[in-house]
Amino acid sequence: MALAARTSRPLGEVLVEQGVITPIQLDEGLQRQRLTGDMLGRILVSLGYCEEQDIIEALGVQQGMDRVDLTKLSIADEVIRTVSGDVAKFYNIIPVRIVMGELVVAMADPLNLQILDDLRQITGMEVRGAVSNPEDVQASWKKNYAFEAESIGKMLDELKEKVGEAELSLEELGMQEVIGDTENLIELAQQPEVIKIVNLIFLTAIQKRASDIHFEVYEDDFRVRIRVDGVLQETVRPPKAACVAITSRIKVICNMDIGERRLPQDARIELKIGDSVIDIRVSTLPTLYGEYVVMRILDRTAVRIDLNQLGLGGAVFKHVNKTIQKPNGIMLVTGPTGSGKTTTLYACLNVLNKPDVKIITTEDPVEL
């Protein structure tokens, strides 16, 4: 009952209590809300009374989460060890304490409750969220995980010890009719080792600024390749036994039909990994030996949409700038995957985007 009471507290009351806004500013925001019907948080941000992060933190408190100040906390080693450094970085969280067997984690994004579900699977513990902010979480990560660097190779060794090199039988998987039962496939995708290896593959691809990830299954092999600067390079070779589990995990993340393996599927999702907002387009293709998965990655925070920062040579820059200023015409931008075609076009639009200019784009798909 106490939690329900906390959940029902108005957002404005939480913001005033935290000292983010004053009662007078709240009244002004409420008056404007009655006139416009817009959300209170959006109104307060537009008025300049608070930042978007303030609203996110207040909404977390509104949901019954505690607020923690990571800058003043000394976290015990045994608590830090409950979550590996790569997992903490992937989800942008820091474990802060264990209370009655329940792990409390400080979250940069307290509204993303899926994180708590994943952490329960990974740690095998009950997990409760606490409100923090991206800056404090990042600083605490550097402080507490400075000497830890979990690698995909280490995770693969642990995975191979558990599942072996060969294709697992149904009995070895400990399930009945794993391939035919959707519920069993979901359970398989939620195994801690599977979650961690998929997360680490994502992190590696983003750190190397890869444009896409390829999960390729063959008769006796399963490998993962990423495309960097237009060139495919192999990263890891997970055991063939993990193929169904890893593919199922990707489908769960992308809200695909996990039970459909005979038809191609496409999906698009947005993930927040550390400080990066990642758009991912996913395609699956049935093959003779399993499903082939390709993930197209677009890191919004890494995209430079300033024409001056694209590295164009002096003559080319002048020519492009002159071309886009013309009242009509067509400009073709060509190149291999990941070469910067979309970034170049968006940078050109950014130059033309002025209050007195109307811009309509036709895009398939919309990438930024």
Average pLDDT score over the chain: 80
Residue 270: HSE in the Cβ half-sphere, 13 Å Cα cutoff: 8
Residue 193 pLDDT more than 60? Answer: yes
Q: CB atoms < 10 A from the CB of 363, how many?
A: 10
pLDDT 10s digits, 271-287:
776 666 788 889 999 99
pLDDT of residue 4: 40
Residue 87 pLDDT more than 90? Answer: no
Residue 307 pLDDT more than 70? Answer: yes
Q: Are strands 102-107 and 126-131 parallel, antiparallel or unpaired?
A: parallel
Higher pLDDT, 79 or 240: 79
pLDDT of residue 38: 84
218-243 CB burial, b ≥16 within 10 A, e <16: eeeebebbbbbeeeeeebbebbbbbb
Residue 248 pLDDT more than 50? Answer: yes
pLDDT 10s digits, 325-363:
898 889 999 887 667 788 888 888 888 888 888 989 888
pLDDT 10s digits, 168-181:
443 444 433 444 45
pLDDT of residue 167: 46
Element (H, E) at 128: strand 126-131
Range with the largest mean pLDDT of 147-156, 158-167, 221-230, 294-303? 221-230
Q: Are strands 231-236 and 212-217 parallel, antiparallel or unpaired?
A: unpaired
Residue 152 pLDDT more than 60? Answer: no
pLDDT of residue 2: 40
pLDDT 10s digits, 215-229:
999 888 889 999 887
Q: Does 365 sit behind a cis peptide bond, omega within 30 degrees of 0 on the bond before it?
A: yes
With cut-offs at 50, 70 and 90, classify the pLDDT of residue 93: very high
**What structural domains does the chain harbor?**
2-62 (no CATH), 68-144 (3.30.300.160), 152-301 (3.30.450.90), 303-352 (no CATH)
Which among 240, 239, 253, 244 has a CA at the least distance from the CA of 282?
A: 253
pLDDT of residue 22: 92
For 101, the token pair is 């067997």
Which among 265, 261, 347 has a CA at the least distance from the CA of 309?
A: 347
**Low-confidence winner among 37-46, 239-248, 268-277, 298-307 (lowest mean pLDDT):** 298-307
- Burial class of residue 174, CB neighbours in 10 A (0-12, 13-18, 19+): exposed
Which among 264, 267, 256 has a CA at the least distance from the CA of 186?
A: 256
pLDDT of residue 169: 43
With cut-offs at 50, 70 and 90, classify the pLDDT of residue 270: confident
Rounded Cα gap, residues 185 and 178, in angstroms:
6
pLDDT of residue 153: 57
pLDDT of residue 144: 85
pLDDT of residue 155: 57
Q: Say if CB 271 and CB 258 are below 8 A apart.
A: no
Rounded Cα gap, residues 261 and 239, in angstroms:
20
Higher pLDDT, 191 or 188: 191
% pLDDT > 70, the chain: 82
Q: What's the mean pLDDT in 235-247?
A: 82
pLDDT 10s digits, 2-21:
444 444 578 888 889 888 89
73-82 CB burial, b ≥16 within 10 A, e <16: eebeeebbeb
**Low-confidence winner among 181-195, 302-316, 323-337 (lowest mean pLDDT):** 181-195
| Strand-pair partners of 213 | 226, 295
Taking CA atoms, 316 is separated from 200, 307, 321, 343, 344, in Å, by: 39, 11, 8, 16, 12
pLDDT of residue 126: 93
Which pTM does this prediction carry? 0.58
pLDDT of residue 310: 80
